[in-house]
Structure formats: C-alpha cells, structure tokens
Amino acid sequence: MSLVDERTILRSIVTKQDRLYLLNKVIGARLISYEIKNFFVPESYYTGTIRFDNETQKEACFFKFAQNEGEVAKHIFKAASKLNQDGILQPWFLTNNKLEKTWILCYEHFNSLLSELPDNKIFELPENWRLSVRNSMKTIKYIHERYLLHLGLKKRSSYALINDRKNGFKIKILFDRNSSTENSVYDIKKAKLDDWKDYKDVLEFLLKSLPQTDDLKLFLNYFGLDQKGKYDVFVDRLIAHPFLLCAEENMNFIANVQHAIITQRISFLSGEKFKEYENWDKKLDDWLKGIYSQQIVDGFSYNVMSVTGLIWFLRDVYVHNCDKFEEVDCHLMQSFPGLYGQLYESL
C-alpha cells in the first residue's frame, strides 16, 4: 500500500451553491464533504472519499477540470446523469472549488481505467468475459437509444474497470473530456457506427489473450458487415453473435438454424463457404467420434456429405449431453472452427 503525502490531500466542505449540482437520486444521503488524495499531483484522475450527514462515507474517483472548462464539466455531468444504466459509470456530483479555481467531477469508485494498461500488456480475461463484453455492448446500444453519442470510445480512458467478486470484473463506460455526448451530427447513423468501430478497436485489445481463431475473426469482421441495412437490426445481431454466447445459448442457436432449414427459410448450406464442413465425420475429434458411433448404433442416421446433416448431428449432441454443455461446446468448436460464425452470417 503506497503512502499518501498529507500535503497533497484536498479536503473541502460542500457549500449550498455546490449542492446545486448534486445527484441526490444516486448517492442518497446529503453530502457534506469530500477528500481527494494526491490532488496537487498531476494525474489523469484521483481517488478519495465523500462523506454524508448520516456519518457514512463512500470511496469515490474524481476528475479535475480547469476553471475555464466549467461548461464542459457541466455538460458531461448533466448528460451522464440522465443515463441510468449499470454499464454507465455514474457521476455523483460536480462542484466548483473556487479556492483552487478548479471544477471537480466526482464519479462512483472504480479500480482502474483501461488506459492504465500498456499496449504490450495482455489483459487477463475472467471466466465470464463474454457476459462483460455483451453488457458493455448493450450499454452502447442504450446510449444511442437515448439519442446520445459517445464519440470517445476509441480511447481506452473511456472504460473503467471495477473488481467484482462474483464476475471477476465489470466494464463501465464513462464520459469525460475525451467524449462528446452531443447528438447534433448531420449523419447520425454514421456517427453511431463510428462509435461501434471505435469500440471494436478497444475490444481487440481486450481479447488479445484469446487464441486468434476463425470464430474470433468472424466476430470482429461482423462489425463491418451489413451496415447498409437497418441500424437497430445490425446492433441486435452484433450483440447476439454466437462468439459471445454461452454453451447453452449455442445449443439454442443450432436449434434455430435447424428450424430455419425445416421451414425452408434458409437453403444456404452449400457452396464454397461451407465446403470445408462437408465429409464432416472425418473432422470429429475422438470424443465426438465416440458419440457419433453410439448414435449410429442407436439407429440415428446422418448425411455426412451435407452440412445439413452436420446441423442435425450437432443438435443431437447438445440434446443428449445436456448435463455437460461446456464440454460439448469445446469439442464442437475445436472440430468445426468458424462454423457458427458462418452460419450466423448466412441467416
């Protein structure tokens, strides 16, 4: 634990005028003071505590703005305060410390900014990283649904990491001087898609520790697909991409593909795109070969020359091994890399 020089701590009582900017609905009890560590040392942000009239206190993080940046700070605070979603880092208050000639924007406490990790650092993903990524994508969708843009998602300083005992970590998007919440851009759809393009750049950094598989490449490529269609459809499909699904959700995905084939909504499982998956019985690993052999003994029949036959086999593997979805998913992904992404693009 590093020691903090007492001379660098800013302690301040909140005045009546300061409370005009207080976000009472989030922090509850009336704020009476705040304390910021290392305030007089140049930093990108600061940590400290805020205290309330009921004798409780909370850890918090603070950003400084120069006196002439007051309107920028107000704009960020007011816009972010309207976004009541778990994936948004919540601003707790904004105050003008006239003694220090500084605007101070206080946010809920976070552990670090993604920008604090060097470029050559491999980000250690927790077990539930798929959920964290999907949640952050839903947050961007939420921002756009509120007729706002971020325009700073390319900067890793726009992402706060919060340790979570249950889920490993949470990614929260924050608004600061690097972002712009203005939605007065002429081409709104393009600006929204630019937000997604910027987010993809950060996502590539987050996912560097993963094997660079066909499935990952197809997911990242999806950010650039179908952008001429309806924006809402594109975003919903992006968030629901099979690369981000858990094993049980992948079973449902294969069931949906099977249903689409039965109802003749799709007839795409041929041609160059799926040629590598023909003669699929030769591509099964030993674990899947055992299941396939048992299925044949039990009277099941599959067309091994057809990708449609493969879909039927995949569906049966999931159904008959519903007590070990994760194991099934692992073997299927290894035996048929890129298949789910290819199917998804063709639906």
What's residue 45's pLDDT? 95
Burial 156-180 (b: 16+ CB within 10 A, else e): bbbbbbeeeeeeebbbbbbbbeebb
pLDDT over threshold 80, residue 156 = yes
Which range (110-119, 164-173, 278-287) has the least confidence?
164-173
Q: For residue range 250-298, list pLDDT tens digits in order.
A: 999 999 999 988 887 666 677 788 889 989 999 999 999 999 999 999 9
User: What is the dihedral sign for C-alpha 209, 168, 106, 1?
Assistant: negative
d(CA 131, CA 167): 9
pLDDT over threshold 50, residue 3 = no
pLDDT band at 25; cut points 50, 70, 90: low
State the distance between the two ends of the chain, measured CA to CA, in whole angstroms: 53
pLDDT band at 24; cut points 50, 70, 90: very low
Is 38 in a helix, a strand, or coil?
coil
d(CA 304, CA 277): 9
Q: For residue range 26-82, list pLDDT tens digits in order.
A: 555 677 889 999 999 889 999 999 988 888 899 999 999 999 999 889 888 888 888
What's residue 11's pLDDT? 80
What global pTM score does this model have?
0.87
What's residue 336's pLDDT? 95
Over residues 6-11, mean pLDDT: 70
What's residue 2's pLDDT? 44
Backbone angles phi, psi at 114, to 5 degrees: -60, -30
d(CA 219, CA 323): 27
More confident residue, 279 or 322: 279
More confident residue, 14 or 75: 75
State in words which class domain 112-244 has: mainly alpha
What tokens does 5 get? 């020089």
Q: What is the CATH number of domain 6-108?
A: 3.30.200
Percent of the chain with pLDDT over 70: 88
d(CA 207, CA 213): 11
Q: For residue range 193-242, list pLDDT tens digits in order.
A: 999 999 999 999 989 888 889 999 999 999 987 666 789 999 999 999 99
H helix intervals, the chain: 24-27, 70-81, 129-145, 188-206, 214-222, 231-239, 247-262, 286-297, 307-320, 325-335, 339-346
Q: What's the whole-number average pLDDT of the chain?
A: 86
Closest CA to 217 of 236, 201, 204, 198: 204
